Structure 1
Amino acid sequence: MSLTLAVRTPAARRAKISAIGTYVPSRVLTNQDLEKMVETSDEWIYSRVGIRERHIAAENEATSDLAVAAARKCLASRGIEGSEVDAIIVATVTPDMFFPATACIVQDKLGAKGAWGFDLSAACSGFVYALQMGTKLVESGAHSKVLVIGADKMSSIIDYTDRTTCVLFGDGAGAVLIEPAEQDEIGLIDFVHEIDGSGAPALNMPAGGSAHPSSIATIESKMHYVHQDGQAVYKFAVRKMAEAAEKVLTRNQITGADLAAFIPHQANKRIIESSADRLGLPIEKVVINIDRYGNTTAGTIPLAMGTAVEENRIKKGDLVLIASVGAGFTVGATLLRWEI
């Protein structure tokens, strides 16, 4: 006797960003402030990277606090409580601690009692990667409300006597809610991700992990701070951010003219402008807020999304392209329709 089981599969569905929230700490560190700390100048910093100021978290303000502040704004704009969230993904390289995951701490602070979650480490590409993880959870039918957060307290791992890195980074967070798209909506369309581990020595924090556990020697050698080969990172980022963006556009038969906005990772204004030029995009379509926030690592793209919304740069139905390059090296680009 044979037995045939009826296999139930969820109907195919798309995912969209349904809400967004951002947060930056109140303290501002300007280029003029940095002039008093290291040998640099406002003109040097702005002309080379496009930054005028960045926000710095208070000593008692952890990455989870930044993440929760952004998440609360996101949920409030959607009109829902934390208890309605199914899953939480936190992209960060500055977790509150190695374990538990910062997502666990965020879940507790939000009162998201029914949610599970995890952290994702992909440096400046973290939010782009986490966005796809959240998207696939919704598209699969497993969940209907996934909170994706990019948050970093970069000031906690920056050596403020190193002028090559301390001028670049700031603290901040952004959160989006991923939900099923309505029948007439498109939402998330496609993505391109790539890693190149040969670039790991060019941008990293050498100590604290199993390769170099914390010790007096690692502390004295300043191995718990960000170390960067600026030229190597710049050359890779200029080439790969544009390549990933071009690939996802070509695959979907989209041109720069079809885009309402390009929202790139905010690491260096020259990298952003170079990528836009290669894509044939006028600067008016490129969202740039690095002058106000610096490089907030996983926070940059959701913060820039927030800027685009605040400045009425994007509206429902617009085609939007996001792209990033980060330590690893990590590369990511996503094409979506804005459905808020």
Structure 2
Amino acid sequence: MGVKLPAQRLTTKDLMSKTSHRTRIQLERLTGIHERHVVGPGETSFTLATGAARDCLSHSRHQASDIEMLISTSISRSKGRSSQSFEPPLSLYLKQAIGAAQATSFDLSNACAGMLTGVFILQNLISHGEISCGMVVSGEYISHLSWNAARQIRSLFSKQLASLTLGDAGAAVLLERAPRGSGIDVIGFTTLAEHSRLCLAFPSSVGPGAQMYTKARTLQRVAIEDTAPLVAETIREAGIDLADIDYMIPHQTSARAIRAGTDAFVQRLGARPKHVVINIEEYGNTSSTTLFVALYKCLQEQKIRKHDRVMLLALASGIEIGIAIFTIDNLADSYGHAH
């Protein structure tokens, strides 16, 4: 795994001080977010993704030339601060930048579940012997949504409230066949398209970038109701109990929502994972990279150890729910030595 974070940080207090209207919203108390990383001059989706891919390779025994498939999964695809690259796809620029020119590459978009969707695709190809090594990479420059929301938001009930929780980050993960007794136990996705209009984004009318409208309370309620039975189904397929999960890493929306969701799982399943990771305080919601930024931090701090069982729980607009359960092997040995 690899991560690239912008050096610049923006506190919630500073962000809310720049709103055009006096909102009286206590955003840090509401969400648990103290600060987030935001891009500075010269930083884009491309630079974040490239930095994460290089960091990933630095922790790996592989060279860039070993990568047979590279999947770029970010929502944002900026090479310049106000332009998006769709054709040629960002994945083409990424593989050239890191020296994986021979790899098959393509862009994939599945909202905040993008990176886990890429892992799902590579896991299937590797398990069927189609490839032996692949990379999923994402660079999310989405803080422009926050700035545009700050110009327009007026109250706690604004549909742009969720935009104020966003941060920028790049993440990458390299996949290969795991030794017996480790690796991915189960991974799968469910789409609940009837809720697709709970979160919509458009080009901004007030500044560069985009603006996003979310029915946040409804989205949270629906997500909790629909995710709990899917978690039950997934752990049953893996042949384990929720209490066998050492670390559950959910999509980082707000601390309050994560705790409410965990309580719903516990009530339904009668068991609790040993640890639930909440790192939103210092990163905010970094969209498709959020699960892997959290996992990376746990590895760097040597909280997650060899043989630990981890559950990644992606929740994306659509609604898209993705769950992966895997057992840590030698991955843990490459991190945390400088901590």
TM score, norm. by length of structure 1: 0.84
| Shift in alpha-carbon separation, 1:76–1:248, aligned structure 2, 3 A | same
In the alignment, is the contact (CA less than 8 A) between 1:168 and 1:294 conserved in 2?
yes
Partner SS, residue 238 of structure 1:
helix
Correspondence 1:244-259 to 2 at 5 A: 244-259=230-245
Counterpart Cα distance in 2 of 1:270 and 1:312: 26
In the alignment, is the contact (CA less than 8 A) between 2:57 and 2:63 conserved in 1?
yes
CA displacement, residues 1-30 of structure 1 (integer Å, 9 cap, x when unaligned)? xxxxxxxxxxxxxxxxxxx11111011010
| Shift in alpha-carbon separation, 1:305–1:32, aligned structure 2, 3 A | same
Partner SS, residue 323 of structure 2:
strand
CA displacement, residues 148-184 of structure 1 (integer Å, 9 cap, x when unaligned)? 12331112344132441442100002111100112x3
In the alignment, is the contact (CA less than 8 A) between 1:248 and 1:333 conserved in 2?
yes
1:205 shift after superposition: 1.3
Partner SS, residue 165 of structure 2:
coil
Counterpart Cα distance in 2 of 1:72 and 1:115: 15
1:283 shift after superposition: 7.8
In the alignment, is the contact (CA less than 8 A) between 2:70 and 2:105 conserved in 1?
yes
| Shift in alpha-carbon separation, 1:206–1:290, aligned structure 2, 3 A | same
- Between 252-261 and 300-309, report the one with greater CA deviation: 252-261
Instruction: Check if 1:309 corresponds to 2:309.
Output: no
Residue matched to 1:199: 195
Which one of 303, 317, 322 corresponds to residue 327 of structure 1? Answer: 317
Q: Structure 1: which amino acid aligns with 2:202? A: P
1:238 shift after superposition: 2.3
1:271 shift after superposition: 2.1
Partner SS, residue 131 of structure 1:
helix
5+ residue gaps, structure 1, are 1-19, 208-217
Q: Structure 1: which amino acid aligns with 2:246? A: A
Counterpart Cα distance in 2 of 1:235 and 1:57: 32
Partner SS, residue 102 of structure 2:
coil
Q: Structure 2: which amino acid aligns with 1:35? A: M
1:192 shift after superposition: 2.8
In the alignment, is the contact (CA less than 8 A) between 1:241 and 1:332 conserved in 2?
no
- Between 248-257 and 325-334, report the one with greater CA deviation: 248-257
In the alignment, is the contact (CA less than 8 A) between 2:242 and 2:273 conserved in 1?
no
Q: Structure 1: which amino acid aligns with 2:52? A: A
CA displacement, residues 47-95 of structure 1 (integer Å, 9 cap, x when unaligned)? 2211110111124312121111111111111133212211111211111
Residue matched to 1:68: 50
| Shift in alpha-carbon separation, 1:25–1:222, aligned structure 2, 3 A | closer
Instruction: Check if 1:47 corresponds to 2:29.
Output: yes
In the alignment, is the contact (CA less than 8 A) between 1:193 and 1:244 conserved in 2?
no
Instruction: Check if 1:233 corresponds to 2:219.
Output: yes
Partner SS, residue 170 of structure 1:
coil
1:129 shift after superposition: 1.1
Residue matched to 2:177: 180
Larger radius of gyration between Structure 1 and Structure 2? 1
Counterpart Cα distance in 2 of 1:185 and 1:277: 30
In the alignment, is the contact (CA less than 8 A) between 2:145 and 2:163 conserved in 1?
no
| Shift in alpha-carbon separation, 1:233–1:222, aligned structure 2, 3 A | farther
1:261 shift after superposition: 0.5
Q: Structure 1: which amino acid aligns with 2:98? A: L
Residue matched to 2:115: 127
- Between 59-68 and 327-336, report the one with greater CA deviation: 59-68
Counterpart Cα distance in 2 of 1:49 and 1:225: 20
Q: Structure 1: which amino acid aligns with 2:261? A: S
Residue matched to 1:288: 278
The 4+ residue runs of structure 1 with deviation greater than 4 A are: 220-223, 281-284
CA displacement, residues 215-243 of structure 1 (integer Å, 9 cap, x when unaligned)? xxx74699932221222222122223333
1:196 shift after superposition: 2.0
| Shift in alpha-carbon separation, 1:110–1:259, aligned structure 2, 3 A | same
Partner SS, residue 48 of structure 2:
helix
Counterpart Cα distance in 1 of 2:170 and 2:209: 25
Counterpart Cα distance in 2 of 1:305 and 1:58: 24
TM score, norm. by length of structure 2: 0.85
Instruction: Check if 1:262 corresponds to 2:248.
Output: yes
1:310 shift after superposition: 1.8
Counterpart Cα distance in 1 of 2:289 and 2:236: 27
In the alignment, is the contact (CA less than 8 A) between 2:72 and 2:137 conserved in 1?
yes
Instruction: Check if 1:35 corresponds to 2:35.
Output: no
